[in-house]
Amino acid sequence: MKMNKFWLLSAFLVFVLVLAGCGNGEDDTADDGAEEDATETEEDGAEETTDDGGEAEGETPDFLTLLTGGTSGTYYPLGGEMASNISNETGIQTDALSSNASADNIVDLQNGEAELAMVQTDTVAQAVDGEGAFEGEEVDNVLGLGSLYPETVQIVTTADSGIESIEDLEGMTVSVGAPGSGTFYNAEQILEIHDLSMDDIDAQNLDFGESTGGIQDGNIDAAIITGGTPTGAVEELSATADLRILPVEQDKIDELIDQYPFYAEDTIEAGTYGIEEDVTTVAVMAMIAVSDSLSDDVVYDITAAIYENADSMAHARAEDITVETALDGVGIDLHPGAQNYFDEQGVETD
């Protein structure tokens, strides 16, 4: 009986010791887990802080938007090809979107609704200076990436319209471009030089396709179209009608350039749209404007993608997109990323 009590007491003591050991193990595990959680939290916090700081200095976006113009003009098809090259070369998905072109594109860049835009050099210069359509409202967050090609002012009518000069537009129904487009402001300036205004014509705010469609249907008499030649909508019209492109006379060209230095003399060559003789006119440059929110590295890569792959594009105006002429007519500050690229190529700023 005494032996039985002894064994019972021994077993009880062993059981207590085992329980104590288990209890200490659970406490250690809980402490270890708390320490690991605390360590992970501190590390996560440190990583988050580092990442946020890095993104603020040079974030690479997943997507980019390139604003172009109307689907019947030059901007849209050419912009689509450039967007493809940017996507392929940088790995950043870039989409080309149709728009009302220059002035509206600048406003969208200013408001952060896009990162890249095709614009006219004259319009973006006015925006930065707070002139023209941007009177008193300077745009201070849009920079230049580079120029592309000459945009020719084409004053289009039909051979049987009876309109032979710009002065003959008085009293006529004339498309002057979509509201907010560079074409609209070119129309104002061309009319002004010829002692006319929007009040002297029946002005219609139509895009290129609507303009040439209106001429074909007889609803409008003429259209002022600023775009790289040949412009798709005008080519389509020339397939169904004999066209006349109104010239800008030399004295008016000189007067226009004197008052608005961003213009240059230009020629629409015989054979274009089926015309029989060269037509003298004026042009501004198309260019790429960019939001200053993009990092230098991203803009450097975009610039390289555009100018080093222009020969892969099918559009006729692509042959004008060269590194050597990329700074022609750019009247605003370049983005540092674009400046770095052109510095490496040995291209000097005008």
- Residue 307 in any domain: the answer is yes
Domain count, the chain: 1
Task: Note the pLDDT of residue 348.
Answer: 80
Low-confidence ranges of the chain (pLDDT < 70): 1-58, 180, 349-350
Domain span at 184: 63-345
Task: Note the pLDDT of residue 172.
Answer: 98
- Between CA 28 and CA 42 the distance in angstroms is 21
- Residue 36 in any domain: the answer is no
- Residue 12 in any domain: the answer is no
In degrees, rounded to 5, the angle at the alpha carbon of residue 150 between the alpha carbons of residues 218 and 161 is 20
Task: Note the pLDDT of residue 147.
Answer: 93
What pTM was estimated for this model as a whole? 0.70
- Between CA 100 and CA 106 the distance in angstroms is 10
Task: Note the pLDDT of residue 9.
Answer: 45
Tokens, residue 97: 């979107």
- Between CA 74 and CA 284 the distance in angstroms is 14
Amino acid identity, position 95: D
Task: Note the pLDDT of residue 34.
Answer: 38
Phi, psi of 268 (to 5 degrees): -95, 115
| Interacting residues of 257 by C-beta distance below 8 A, sequence separation 6+ | 263, 264, 265, 282
Task: Note the pLDDT of residue 32.
Answer: 43
Task: Note the pLDDT of residue 316.
Answer: 87
- Between CA 315 and CA 318 the distance in angstroms is 6
- Residue 46 in any domain: the answer is no
- Residue 159 in any domain: the answer is yes
Are 321 and 306 within 8 A, CB to CB?
yes
Task: Note the pLDDT of residue 59.
Answer: 83
- Between CA 123 and CA 102 the distance in angstroms is 7
- Residue 215 in any domain: the answer is yes
Give residue for tokens 């009040």. Answer: 199
Supply the CATH number for residue 305's domain. 3.40.190.10
Phi, psi of 199 (to 5 degrees): -75, -15
- Residue 39 in any domain: the answer is no
- Between CA 11 and CA 52 the distance in angstroms is 61
Task: Note the pLDDT of residue 349.
Answer: 67
- Residue 175 in any domain: the answer is yes
Which SS3 state, helix, strand or coil, does residue 139 take?
Answer: coil
